[in-house]
Amino acid sequence: MAKVTFLPANVLVEFELGQLPYRHHGKPGSLLDVALNFGIPLEHACGGNCACTTCHVIVRQGEDNLSEIEEDEADRLDLAAGLTLHSRLACQSVVRGDVVVEIPSWNRNWVREAGGSINLGEAVPAGRRPGNEF
């Protein structure tokens, strides 16, 4: 049994390791996968492919209960706003025990949007926006 707490909402979820259905975003059993399984909004603009930093979280407890950071995650994290010594990408961090993570304020649009989540999947490139056609 593992417990993951998501701050600042202070939502605690419990599950058997390896038993959650995979939600097709990020590594199976990752913090992102766990969040999606329990309906906790966590941005993941690149679909959990270690190609953005929108799933950036800060680990407050239980760092040793996450998979080791790999080189591609470390390289990507270097680009994250507000990087800390305890930062991880939720899509790459596989849960192996109890952890407490904080979703940074820049990744909390869902609080303001009453549960909505930004979908960047259909984002229009800047040069193609209406009124920007030249």
Q: Is residue 54 near ligand FES by the rule CB under 6 A?
A: yes
Q: Is residue 51 near ligand FES by the rule CB under 6 A?
A: yes
Rounded alpha-carbon distances, angstroms, from residue 14 to 3, 45, 58, 110: 4, 25, 19, 22
Applying CB under 6 A, which part among 9-17, 38-46, 98-106, 112-120 lies near ligand FES? Answer: 38-46
With vertex at residue 127, the alpha carbon angle to CA 121 and CA 133, rounded to the nearest 5 degrees, is: 125
Q: Is residue 55 near ligand FES by the rule CB under 6 A?
A: yes
Residue type, 31: L
CA 64 from centre of chain: 18
Applying CB under 6 A, which part among 43-51, 60-68, 109-117, 123-131 lies near ligand FES? Answer: 43-51
Interaction pattern, residues 93-122, with ligand FES; x per rule: CB under 6 A = ------------------------------
Tokens of 133: 């056609």
- Our CB check for ligand FES shows the closer of 45 and 58 to be 45
Mark out the alpha helices in 8-95 (DSSP H runs): 31-37, 71-77
List residues near ligand FES by CB under 6 A.
44-46, 48, 50-52, 54-55, 76, 89, 91
